């Protein structure tokens, strides 16, 4: 009987499932959309039950499209957005919508952590940057202080990947990536900083979290009978310990050794690298101990809002194009790419900052917001579209500069995710940064990485490195155009001046609105 591996990727915009053979060849994909809710400025929530419904639809649809028997699924892996807090009761029923990764309501709790001198703060720019309000710990404290009944009724407070692992197998663990990246866990210092937790107001949190921290791809357990029935799969299929969606992308692109760098394009754009030594510096998140593989450190410099800004723009300013696409016309992307293709670097004087949900790197500022500057009456919709694309590339270059300052100099960046559907946008990434952008055969890094974790859990491969050697293959390289790179240097410098020029104003506006 043939054996195939199922990779689950629950992202912000939807649940995507891919089915692969052991060479990394994809058989089928199935997407099911997810809706986000924005109750207040800086707040983002999703319905946890909708996650599961989307997963059921995607798994059943992928198996059907692949034309395989359910019994041929030999292993399952998964990834989900992280620092997406899930509160459930003893029956695993959600007590509220998930407080999503991009939600920055816990700014006050994060600032409380900033005042504490502790090794837990090393991950935040060596202790010099403010902790991110996005992180799981601070959201949990916010919940305790602002929704005490939900806190009291919670049997489990889980990061989203660990909720999914529990839902699939009945086994409750914390994956090492979520622990290190979002909970201040550091194996070099003994694990969780329990005294730090108490100082920020998280007394009692550990009693609501799983007691075990597990490595990626380890066998978590077999698919439970209840989950199997809903998903249309046999019970007992090995399920590997899953991870955060960005780190699944790293695995799916074989960025698992020092010297490589990954760009995971999506609603946000994490830029990730592996280091043999811990690196702690302002503007960087990490280096997170053992977060991907034991004995290595994961360094992150990421943009909080990229694809989500583009989605906002299309839904706000291009509804006609979206409607036409639904009726059989070309996609909104194709239309706007065509209309903007001849615009010069800088979009004829229009600059955007993409901080629509704050800035994660290099400023670690949850209060700053996005801006358009340089608008005049000759600008049209395609100028705004192109300027948003350029802003995501300028933000990438800003983060690359921080990484370069600390010895991480990539020869190339391996990219995956939604932006790959626009070749002109990917070329722009190369032109702005002056770095080769490498695309692998499977452009959906997270589902492949998750399938690889499932293959390891099933015993097909000894570890993730062996799985990558068999399943990850390079396909294309976008090389920078030297002339356009030179032109973009001016616009990058102007972009970099916008944050210091505007942050005080935007902070005052935030506090005014909060009063």
Residue 224 has pLDDT above 70, yes or no: yes
How high does pLDDT run on average in the chain?
95
Most confident range, picked from 229-243, 246-260, 272-286, 362-376: 229-243
Residue 85 has pLDDT above 70, yes or no: yes
Taking residue 25's Cβ as centre, other Cβ atoms within 10 Å add up to 13
Q: 453 or 257: which carries more pLDDT confidence? A: 453
**What integer is the mean pLDDT of 37-49?**
95
Give me the half-sphere count of Cα atoms (radius 13 Å) on the Cβ side of residue 267: 21
Residue 431 has pLDDT above 90, yes or no: yes
Ordered DSSP codes for 246-288: HHHHHHHTT--STT-EEEEESSSB-EEEEESS----TT-EEEE
- pLDDT of 408 reads 87
The pLDDT tens digits of the residues spanning 344-395 come to 999 999 999 999 999 989 998 989 999 999 999 999 999 999 999 999 999 9
**What integer is the mean pLDDT of 286-295?**
94
- pLDDT of 406 reads 87
CB 250 within 8 A of CB 449: yes
Smallest CA-to-CA distance from 59 within 10, 5, 18 is with: 18
Helices 332-340 and 319-326: crossing angle in degrees, nearest 10, is 130
- pLDDT of 443 reads 86
Helices 381-405 and 332-340: crossing angle in degrees, nearest 10, is 90
Helices 464-471 and 445-457: crossing angle in degrees, nearest 10, is 130
The pLDDT tens digits of the residues spanning 145-190 come to 999 999 999 999 999 999 999 999 999 999 999 999 999 999 999 9
Q: What angle do CA 55, 57, 58 make, to 5 degrees?
A: 65
Which domains does the chain possess? 307-441+477-514 (3.30.420.40)
d(CA 447, CA 355): 27
Percentage of residues in the chain with pLDDT exceeding 70? 100
CB 390 within 8 A of CB 426: no
Residue 1 has pLDDT above 70, yes or no: no
Q: 264 or 391: which carries more pLDDT confidence? A: 391
Q: Model confidence at 260, in pLDDT bands (50, 70, 90)?
A: confident
Smallest CA-to-CA distance from 450 within 56, 147, 155, 164 is with: 164
What Cα–Cα distance (Å) separates residue 364 from each residue in 268, 395, 454? 14, 13, 34
Pairing outcome for strands 85-88 and 73-80: unpaired
Residue 410 has pLDDT above 90, yes or no: no
The pLDDT tens digits of the residues spanning 87-132 come to 999 999 999 999 999 999 999 999 999 999 999 999 998 998 888 8
Ordered DSSP codes for 222-253: EPPHHHHHHHTS-TT-EEE--EEHHHHHHHHT
Taking residue 47's Cβ as centre, other Cβ atoms within 10 Å add up to 17
**What integer is the mean pLDDT of 61-88?**
98
Q: What is the pTM of this model?
A: 0.84
> What stretches of 8-47 show up as alpha helix (H) in DSSP?
none
- pLDDT of 28 reads 98
d(CA 413, CA 394): 15
d(CA 447, CA 449): 5
**Dihedral-angle region of residue 322 (phi above 0 means left; psi in -120 to 50 means alpha; beta otherwise):** alpha
């Amino acid at each position: 009987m043939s054996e195939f591996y199922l990779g689950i990727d629950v992202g912000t915009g939807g649940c995507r499932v891919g089915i692969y053979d052991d060479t990394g060849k994809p058989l089928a994909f199935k997407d099911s959309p997810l809706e986000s809710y924005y109750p207040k400025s800086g707040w983002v929530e999703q319905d946890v039950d909708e996650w599961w419904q989307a997963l059921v639809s995607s798994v059943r649809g992928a198996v059907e499209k692949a034309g395989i028997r359910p019994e041929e699924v030999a292993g399952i892996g998964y990834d989900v957005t992280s620092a997406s807090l899930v509160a459930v009761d003893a029956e695993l029923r959600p007590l509220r919508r998930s407080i999503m990764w991009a939600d920055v309501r816990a700014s006050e709790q994060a600032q409380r952590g900033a005042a504490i001198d502790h090794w837990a703060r090393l991950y935040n720019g060596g202790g010099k940057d403010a902790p991110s309000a996005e992180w799981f710990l601070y959201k949990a404290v916010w919940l305790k202080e602002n929704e005490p009944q939900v806190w009291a009724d919670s049997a489990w407070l889980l990061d989203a990947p660990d909720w999914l692992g529990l839902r699939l197998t009945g086994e409750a663990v914390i994956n090492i990536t979520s622990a290190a990246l979002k909970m201040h866990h550091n194996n070099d210092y003994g694990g969780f900083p329990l005294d730090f937790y108490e100082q920020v107001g998280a007394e009692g949190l550990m009693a609501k979290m799983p007691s075990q921290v597990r490595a990626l791809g380890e066998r978590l357990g077999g698919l439970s009978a209840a989950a199997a029935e809903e998903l249309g799969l046999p019970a007992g299929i090995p399920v590997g310990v899953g991870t955060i969606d960005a780190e699944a992308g790293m695995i799916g692109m074989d960025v698992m050794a020092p010297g490589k760098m990954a760009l995971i394009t999506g609603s946000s754009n994490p830029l990730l690298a592996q280091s043999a030594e811990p690196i702690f510096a302002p503007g960087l998140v990490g280096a997170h101990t053992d977060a991907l593989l034991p004995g290595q450190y994961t360094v992150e410099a990421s943009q909080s809002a990229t694809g989500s800004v583009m989605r906002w723009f299309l839904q706000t300013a291009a509804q006609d194009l979206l409607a036409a696409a639904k009726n059989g016309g070309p996609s909104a992307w194709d239309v706007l790419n065509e209309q903007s293709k001849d615009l010069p670097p800088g979009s004829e004087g229009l600059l955007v900052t993409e901080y629509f949900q704050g800035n994660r790197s290099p400023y670690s500022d949850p209060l700053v917001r996005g801006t358009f500057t340089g608008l005049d009456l000759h600008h049209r919709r395609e100028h705004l579209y192109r300027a948003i694309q350029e802003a995501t590339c300028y933000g990438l270059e800003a983060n690359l500069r921080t990484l370069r300052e600390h010895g991480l100099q990539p020869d190339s960046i391996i990219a995956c995710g939604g932006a790959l559907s626009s070749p002109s946008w990917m070329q722009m990434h190369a032109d702005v940064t002056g770095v080769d952008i490498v695309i692998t055969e499977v452009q959906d890094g997270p589902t492949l990485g998750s399938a690889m974790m499932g293959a390891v859990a099933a015993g097909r491969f000894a570890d993730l490195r062996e799985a990558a050697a068999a399943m990850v293959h390079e396909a294309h390289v976008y090389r920078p155009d030297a002339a356009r790179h030179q032109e973009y240097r001016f616009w990058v410098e102007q972009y970099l001046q916008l944050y210091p020029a505007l942050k005080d104003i935007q902070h005052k506006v935030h506090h005014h609105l909060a009063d």
